[in-house]
Amino acid sequence: MKLWGGRFKEEISDKFFVFSSSIKFDFRLAEYDIIVNRAWAKMLERIDLLSQKELIRITKALDEVQEDLQKKRLRPEESSEDIHSLIEERLFTYAGSVSKKLPVGRSRNELISTEVRLYLRDVVDEFVMKIKNLQRKILAKATENAKIFMPYFTHLQPATPGTVGHFLLSYFWKLERDKKFFKFVKEEANSMPLGSGAVGGTTIPIDTEFLMRELGFSKICENSVDATSERDFIIYFLEACANLQVHLCLISEDFVIFSTPAFDFLELPEAFSTGSSLMPQKKNPDFFELVRGKTAKIIAGLDALLLLLKGIPSGYNRDLQEDKIHLFGIIDEVNSILELFPNVFSEIRFKESNMKKLIEKGEICAQSLAEYLAMKGVPFRCAHEIVGRIIRDNETLKRKMQDLTLDVLKSYSEFFTADVIPLLSPEGILEQLQTPSSPQSLSFEAQLRSAYAAVEE
C-alpha cells in the first residue's frame, strides 16, 4: 500500500522502491508510531473529526497492532515504504475503512521527527542511567584505592605523585559533564513538531496543546518549516556520544598503557582480555582497544549527519531519511559499550608496589623541593635551577632523590633544613598539597563527597 498513489499513472520501479524504503531501519520506531497514532486519534475525536465509536474502533485496532509487534507478528515487510505506512496498513487490517480517517492534517515529515524525538528521549534516559552506573563503579574503586600512591604523568613522563583514588575521580568528572550534555539533548528533543504539516501547517484545527500533553513534550516547535526539517537535536545527541566516547577512549588508553609489562600498574580481568593464537604469553587488552576502535564509527556518524545537512535547502528533503542509519548504528554501539564498561572497570586491580617503583625512579618530588625553597624566600626561578642541578647530579652519580641526606641537600642550598625530609617521599608531599583540587587527603575526601552527591542527584 502506497500513501501517495493518486497522481501517478505508472507503477514505481521495484528496484527504486527497495532503494528508497526505510523500513529496514525505521522499524525500530514502531512502538513510537503507535503511541503517536493513539494520541492523534484521541485528538481527532476532541475536534470532532472522529466519532467516539470510531475512536474506540481505532484504539482497539492499535492495541492489536501493538500486540502483533510484541508477539513479533509485525515485521519489517519489504513491501512497506516506511514504518508509518506499515502501521497504517496493519491498522487498516484491524479497523477497516475508518482507519483511513486517521492521517488527516499530518505529514510523515512531522511524524518521523516526532517519533525520533520520543525515541531519543528514552535512549537518553537509558544512557544517563548507564553513565551513572559507571560513575558509581568509579567512586567505589576510588574509595577502595584512596591511599594507594601512583605517579601522575604529563607527556607520559612521570610528573608528580598522587593517589589512584584521586586519579580515578578525574574520570568521574568527565562523565558528569557528559551526563549534563545528554540532559541538555533531552531538553532539545523535547519540542513537538506536530501541527507543522509537511512544511507550512494545516487547515485542520489540530489541537497541538492536547498532543503535547498527551505525548509528554515540554513545548511545541515554533516554526513549521524549521520543525519538519531540523535535525539539531540529533546532532547534539551525536556530539554528546562523540564526547562521551572520547572520554571512554582516554580511560581505555590509560588502561592499555598501564597494563603493559613495561608499566605493569594494573591487572586486567581475564574475562575481558584475549590471548594470541601464536604467542602463548599474551594477554591483550582487546576490550579497551575496541572501545577506541568503535569510536571511529561514532565520530564518523556525527560527521555524516553534518555532511547530510550541509547541502539541503529549507523544508523536508528525502536526504534526511538517512539520518537514522547513522543515529541508530551509533546508539547500538554506545549502548553496548556503556553496558560492558562498568563491568570491566570494576574488575581492574591496581599494583601498588609497581607504581611506587616508578615514583622512586621518576624523581617526582622535584616540584615540591623547588616550591619548598620558594616558600623559604628563594625566588622560584632560582629554586627551580637548584633542584635541576640536584637532579642532574643524581643522574651522573646514580643517586636517588629519596636517599639524599640533609647534608647533601644543604650543599646545594643553605635554605634546606630538616623539615624538607618528608618532601622526599610521596606521603609527605601529598600531605603538604594546599589546593582543593589536589590529591591531598582532606581535599580528596571533600571531592569524593561532592562526587557522591552529584551522582545521586
- Find the shortest distance in angstroms from Cβ 327 to ligand ARG: 11
- For residue 183, the number of C-alpha atoms closer than 13 Å in the C-beta half-sphere is 11
Residue written as grid cell 551526563: 179
Phi (first) and psi of residue 386, to 5 degrees: -60, -50
Query: Given the complex with ligand ARG, which of 193 and 285 has the nearer CB atom?
Result: 193
Query: Given the complex with ligand ARG, which of 108 and 117 has the nearer CB atom?
Result: 108
- Find the shortest distance in angstroms from Cβ 26 to ligand ARG: 6
Query: Given the complex with ligand ARG, which of 38 and 108 has the nearer CB atom?
Result: 108
CA dist 362 to 9, 109, 306, 401, 443, Å?
A: 80, 62, 45, 9, 25
Q: Distance between CA atoms of 135 and 174, rounded to whole angstroms?
A: 10
- Find the shortest distance in angstroms from Cβ 320 to ligand ARG: 5
Say which DSSP state 7 is in: G
- Find the shortest distance in angstroms from Cβ 88 to ligand ARG: 12
Give the residue from 249, 307, 113 showing the smallest Cα distance to 194: 113
CA dist 162 to 325, 356, 439, Å?
A: 44, 11, 6
Residue pair 447/437 in contact (Cβ under 8 Å)? The answer is yes
Identify whether 155 is a catalytic site residue.
Answer: yes
Supply angle C-alpha 340, 234, 327, rounded to 5.
50
Residue pair 361/158 in contact (Cβ under 8 Å)? The answer is yes
Query: Given the complex with ligand ARG, which of 12 and 56 has the nearer CB atom?
Result: 12
* Strand pairing report for 157-163 and 149-154: antiparallel
- Choose the catalytic residue: 97, 155, 277, 353: 155
Within 10 angstroms of residue 393's Cβ, the number of other Cβ atoms is 14
Residue pair 439/162 in contact (Cβ under 8 Å)? The answer is yes
Residues near ligand ARG, by CB under 6 A? 22, 26, 82, 108-109, 112, 316, 318, 320-321
- Find the shortest distance in angstroms from Cβ 191 to ligand ARG: 18
Return the C-alpha cell found at 146. 584512596
Query: Given the complex with ligand ARG, which of 54 and 323 has the nearer CB atom?
Result: 323
Radius of gyration of the chain (CA): 31
- Find the shortest distance in angstroms from Cβ 209 to ligand ARG: 25
- Find the shortest distance in angstroms from Cβ 193 to ligand ARG: 12
Q: Which helix (H) or strand (E) element contains residue 267?
A: strand 266-267
- To 10 degrees, what angle do helices 232-259 and 164-189 make? 170
- Choose the catalytic residue: 13, 276, 314, 450: 276
Q: Distance between CA atoms of 63 and 278, rounded to whole angstroms?
A: 57
- Find the shortest distance in angstroms from Cβ 108 to ligand ARG: 4
- For residue 255, the number of C-alpha atoms closer than 13 Å in the C-beta half-sphere is 30
Query: Given the complex with ligand ARG, which of 234 and 451 has the nearer CB atom?
Result: 234
Residue written as grid cell 632560582: 382
Residue written as grid cell 508510531: 33
Annotated catalytic sites, by residue? 155, 276
